[in-house]
Amino acid sequence: MKIHWYRNPQTRLILTGFKGIGYVGYLTIKYLIDNLDSIERIAIAESKYLPPVLTTTKFGLSYPVEIYEYDKHFLILYIEEVPPGYRGATLVKKLLEELSNKGIDRVITIGGLTSSLKDGESDLIRIVYNNYWKNRLDYREIQKDVKIYGPLAQVLYYAEILHIPAIALLAYADPERTIDLMGVYSALKTISEILNMKLNLEELLETAEEYEKRTREILEATKKEGDKYMYT
C-alpha cells in the first residue's frame, strides 16, 4: 500500500468514517467532501486490495481511497469500500502508518451506534477514547460492554498500537435501516461543535425529519393492515 501525495498536508488532524450502522460514518464523510468550500484532494492511495471501480465527481474521477484537506483545518480520509477480513485490516494499518509518518497526530472516526442503547430523546451521540487522547470532550462516553466492529474498530486498534490519539463519535442509528439520516445529522452537528466550524445542516435536518415521519406512517399503516386479519 502506498499513498501518492499531490502535496504535503498542512494539518495533523484527520477524520474518517465507514459503511457501518445506518451508513452514518460513510455519509458524514461524503457530506463534508461534497459540501465544504475550499476543500482539496491532496492524495490518493494505491493497494492491491482495492476494487477496480472509479466514480465521477465534482473533483473529476473519484478513487477508492482519497485524502482531502479542508482549508488547513483538518484532513478527510475517504475509503469507498474497506475489503473484508485480513485485507481490510492490512489496508487500515498501512494507511495509519503512512499518515503517522506524515505527521498526523490525531484521528476522529465516525460511525453509528445501535439505537437500542439510547437513553432518552436527548441522547444523540456517544464517544470512545483511546489511551492517547487526553482531552475529554463534553459528550457522554459509550456504555460499558458494548462491542465495536469493522473498520472503525480497526482504526481505534491500530491508532492505539501506533500511539496516535484517536476518538470515535458514534451517533445513534436504527440498525434496521440501510441509511439513517438523523444519525448523519447528529454526527455532523457534533463535528461542527468540536471543530468550531459552521455547517449549513437545515436542509439535511428537514430531509431527515420528513424521512422519519414517512417511515412512522408506513409502519403504522402496515400494523393497521395486519390487525385486520387478527382473530381471537
pLDDT digits (tens, 9 = 90+) for 72-82: 899 999 999 99
> Residue 58: its pLDDT value, please?
85
pLDDT greater than 70 at residue 223: no
Same domain, 11 and 90: yes
Q: 22: alpha, beta or left, given left = phi > 0 and alpha = psi -120 to 50?
A: left
CATH of residue 177: 3.40.50.10900
Same domain, 83 and 147: yes
Mean pLDDT to the nearest integer, 47-64: 89
DSSP per position, 182-225 = HHHHHHHHHHHHHTT-----HHHHHHHHHHHHHHHHHHHHHHHH
**Three cell numbers written together for 222:** 402496515
> Residue 180: its pLDDT value, please?
94
Same domain, 113 and 209: no
Same domain, 139 and 222: no
Same domain, 111 and 95: yes
Same domain, 194 and 208: no
* Average pLDDT score over the chain: 91
pLDDT greater than 50 at residue 94: yes
* Domains identified in the chain, total number: 2
Same domain, 208 and 94: no
Mean pLDDT to the nearest integer, 33-44: 94
pLDDT grade, residue 224 (50/70/90)? low
Q: Give just the sign of the alpha carbon dihedral 193, 206, 32, 146.
A: positive
Same domain, 21 and 134: yes
pLDDT digits (tens, 9 = 90+) for 134-154: 999 999 999 999 999 999 999
Same domain, 128 and 215: no
Mean pLDDT to the nearest integer, 172-185: 93
Same domain, 127 and 214: no
User: Could you tell me which residues come within 8 angstroms of residue 53 by beta carbon, excluding any fewer than 6 positions away?
Assistant: 64, 80, 81
pLDDT greater than 50 at residue 232: no
Same domain, 163 and 208: no
pLDDT digits (tens, 9 = 90+) for 184-218: 999 999 999 999 999 999 999 998 888 778 776 66
Same domain, 112 and 219: no
> In one letter, which amino acid is 203?
E
Taking the model in full, what pTM does it have?
0.90
Q: Which domain holds residue 232?
A: 204-232
> Residue 53: its pLDDT value, please?
87
Name which of 123-127, 158-162, 197-201, 208-212 the model is least confident about: 208-212
